[in-house]
Chain A
Amino acid sequence: MSEIHWAFILASYLICFGLVAALIASIVIDHRRLQRELTRLGAADRTRATDEVA
């Protein structure tokens, strides 16, 4: 009986921290992707500004 209870406890903690880890990973991945996009768009923006001046 005790082993069954520990299985439920372990499952609870694994699900909880697994989900929190997934949430952290999604935020970090999203941040890196957005920074890449900003860098790319920022470069395009600077190119456009240079073209307009030329």
Chain B
Amino acid sequence: MLKYANPTLFLGLVSRVWPWLAGLSALALAIGLWGAFFSAPPDYQQGQTVRIMYIHVPAAWLSMFCYAAMTASALGTLVWRHPLADAAQKAAAPIGAVFTFICLVTGSLWGKPMWGTWWVWDARLTSVLILFVIYLGLIALWRTIEDPSRAARAAAILTLVGVVNLPIIKFSVDWWNTLHQPASVFRLGGPTIAPSMLWPLLVMALAFTLIFTTLHLLATRNEILRRRVRRLSIQAAAAGHAPEAPAHRLTPTRVSS
């Protein structure tokens, strides 16, 4: 693991691994979608609408998994000062925000026909909305602070503060009387879902996790390249050979004092 603290080695690893991960993601997604639409039966209460669960639940799990990974990266930044930790954390935030948004929207689209409403200020829904706002706050923080090392420290601290929301999301359905149903897969007594519905759900969760891993590796690679561009821009400016203005402004081209 420490070997890949070297950005060059990490870039080499990403180049070798990502095509395999992308292929595995596509395969798992194809099997999961086949299971969700052609193998799993309709629910006896929800009817066909239960098929929304096969994207809603994996997106919800992944929104929390992504934040947990960002928390590990935040510790890597603050405690071990791992050179890739803040790049990995910065790269994960937009992906986590997208999956949290998917979770909220698909939950709302499921809620309208099942509950008769798009949204309720239920503990589970509200805590996931707070998670989405934290993701947006982290993205905004990185864009606001120009010095990357200061931005990384501030984002790592905010991430560690925000991690308190993860157990609240997980146990909100047990701690409060919520409209959202309680856990039916990861619970002490074992899953309460029928195996014919459980396996497509788990395969879709695997597919989403593989998609996340692939996208995260590629986004971290972009972050490393962005830092190289920044360093070369500063060197060129310092040497008085400022290159022509790029067609699209790169985010961290300015140097803070």
Chain A residue nearest to B211 in the complex (CB): A20
Per the bound structure, the CA–CA distance linking A38 and B230 in Å amounts to 9
Contact code string A1-44 (vs B, CB < 8 Å = 1, else 0): 01011101101110110011001100110110111011011101
Per the bound structure, the CA–CA distance linking A24 and B222 in Å amounts to 12
In the bound complex, do residue A8 and residue B49 qualify as a contact, i.e. CB atoms below 8 Å apart? Answer: yes
Q: Which of these, A4, A27, A47, contacts B215 with CB under 8 Å?
A: A27
A19–chain B nearest beta-carbon distance, Å: 5
In the bound complex, do residue A9 and residue B48 qualify as a contact, i.e. CB atoms below 8 Å apart? Answer: yes
Main DSSP-derived SS at the B contact region: helix
30 cross-chain CB contacts under 8 A: A5-B48, A8-B49, A8-B109, A9-B49, A9-B52, A12-B52, A12-B55, A12-B105, A15-B102, A15-B105, A16-B55, A19-B98, A20-B102, A27-B215, A27-B219, A27-B222, A30-B222, A31-B222, A34-B225, A34-B250, A35-B225, A37-B250, A38-B225, A38-B228, A38-B232, A40-B246, A44-B243, A47-B241, A48-B239, A48-B241
* Interface positions of B (Cβ within 8 A of A): 47-49, 51-52, 55-56, 59, 94-95, 98, 101-102, 105-106, 109-110, 112-113, 211, 215, 218-219, 221-222, 225-226, 228-229, 232-233, 235-236, 239, 241, 243-244, 246, 248, 250
Would you list the 6 A-B pairs with minimal beta carbon distance, nearest first?
Answer: A41-B232, A34-B225, A12-B106, A44-B243, A48-B241, A12-B52
* Interface positions of A (Cβ within 8 A of B): 2, 4-6, 8-9, 11-13, 15-16, 19-20, 23-24, 27-28, 30-31, 33-35, 37-38, 40-42, 44-45, 47-48, 51
